[in-house]
Structure 1
Amino acid sequence: MTEVLGWASSFVLLLTISKQVYKQWKSGTSEGVSKWLFIGQTTASVGFTLYSILVRNWVFVVTNALLLVSAIIGGAIVIKHRRAARRGASRREQARPARAAHA
């Protein structure tokens, strides 16, 4: 019963985090999401995964390894969205002088 509780809790946590990362990707924006969230989550997940391996708790090994994957994906999405926003802003700035010259 203890293992079932652990695996069920792991599933709920992973589902919740995955849903948030998917929503962030699908929306096309990471506005309001701090890159430090993913840096912290990555660091903690690496530590917790290693700790879980050392104490041989496979529920936590799997959970923390998958949380590490979600942190990496979430962080990559933030980077992608921020780069796209900078490119868009740069293009808008370059287009302004061209329009002013034609006026």
Structure 2
Amino acid sequence: MTFQPVDLLGWAATVVLILTLGRQIHKQQQADSVEAVSTWLFIGQMTASVLFIAYSAMVGSTVFVVTNTLILITAITGQVLAVRRRRRQAGT
């Protein structure tokens, strides 16, 4: 793995994106209802992330392998939290 100064731009974008997604998951968790949260959004996000991870690895882009792995983790986290919340709301 070689580091190029231009990679700083990619890493900065990664930080901004992950902070944004993290904030969205937090906001989703604080909301009264999860009705507006689409399961298909998470399925699409997870599928795209897995495909982008494979593509990024094949072209040798460490920045995008890491970024898309983190995006995949946020999608899984968001989906798990939404499912738990739906189950809690259905039980009350």
Residue 41 of structure 1 is matched in structure 2 by 45
Contact map agreement 1:28 1:81 (CA 8 A) in 2: no
Unaligned runs of 5+ in 2: none
Residue 10 of structure 1 is matched in structure 2 by 14
Residue 86 of structure 1 is matched in structure 2 by 90
Deviation string 1:48-87 (CA, Å, 9 cap, x unpaired) is 0111111110000000000000000001111111111111
Alpha-carbon distance in 2 for matches of 1:35, 1:83:
14
RMSD over aligned Cα atoms? 1.3
Alpha-carbon distance in 1 for matches of 2:40, 2:8:
33
Query: Residue 29 of structure 2: which of 25, 31, 36 is its match?
Result: 25
Residue type at the aligned position of 1:4: L
Give TM-score, length-normalised by structure 2.
0.88
Residue 73 of structure 1 is matched in structure 2 by 77
Residue type at the aligned position of 2:60: R
Alpha-carbon distance in 1 for matches of 2:11, 2:75:
20
Q: CA deviation at 1:32?
A: 0.8
Give TM-score, length-normalised by structure 1.
0.79
Percentage identity across aligned positions?
Answer: 47
Question: Which has the larger share of helix?
Answer: 1
Structure with higher Rg: it is 1
Contact map agreement 1:14 1:67 (CA 8 A) in 2: yes
